Amino acid sequence: MTDAPVYFPRTIYRLFAAGGVAVALLFLWEILNGFSLSALFFLLGATGFTLIHLRWALMRLELTADGVTVRAPLQGSLQIQFRQMIICEEAGRFTPGVSLVYWPVSSEGIVETEVPRTQFLPAVARQEELLAALQKRMPD
């Protein structure tokens, strides 16, 4: 077991996911009582809202010696090394998370500096600590 700090998303994502489930169930009940296209449209919207926030609620960020590992459900873990990072800053309005711009790595382990990629990390508990650690270890 490692001593790498693990950052968990804020509780607000779980609350949003639970609210999305409640709204989706209400629209499902409406459809079962009498089908309408508008109810189906809002059911699909509420389901999408729920899935997005559930994914963010289940993400885990692990700060390792080499970089940060992003673990998301139904997706392999994404390792972003400090040497790949270009920009790391807080982004968003209601629940600001961390926006991380980085250079991808080829299969040979070489950093490709042609087209950068962006990874949005959800708002986490102890976010100031995570942001400071990432910015401190990022290359100049």
Identify whether residues 81 and 49 lie together within a single domain: no
3-state SS, one letter per residue, for 97-137: EEEEEECCECCCCCECCCCCEEEEECCECCHHHHHHHHHHH
Give the count of domains, the chain: 2
Residues 74 and 49 in one domain: no
Residue 13 structural domain: 6-57
Residue 33, Cβ neighbours under 10 Å: how many? 9
Co-location of 73 and 120 in the same domain: yes
Q: What is the pLDDT of residue 2?
A: 57
Q: Does a structural domain hold residue 131? A: yes
Structure confidence by residue, pLDDT tens digits, 29-49: 999 999 899 999 999 999 999
As a whole number, mean pLDDT of residues 5-23 equals 95
Q: What's 9's DSSP letter?
A: B
* N residues, the chain: 140
Q: Are 90 and 75 in contact (CB under 8 A)?
A: no
- pTM, 2 dp: 0.81
**Is pLDDT above 70 for 61?**
yes
Structure tokens at 40: 């189906």
pLDDT at 135 over 70: yes
In this structure, the answer to whether residues 74 and 128 fall within a common structural domain is yes
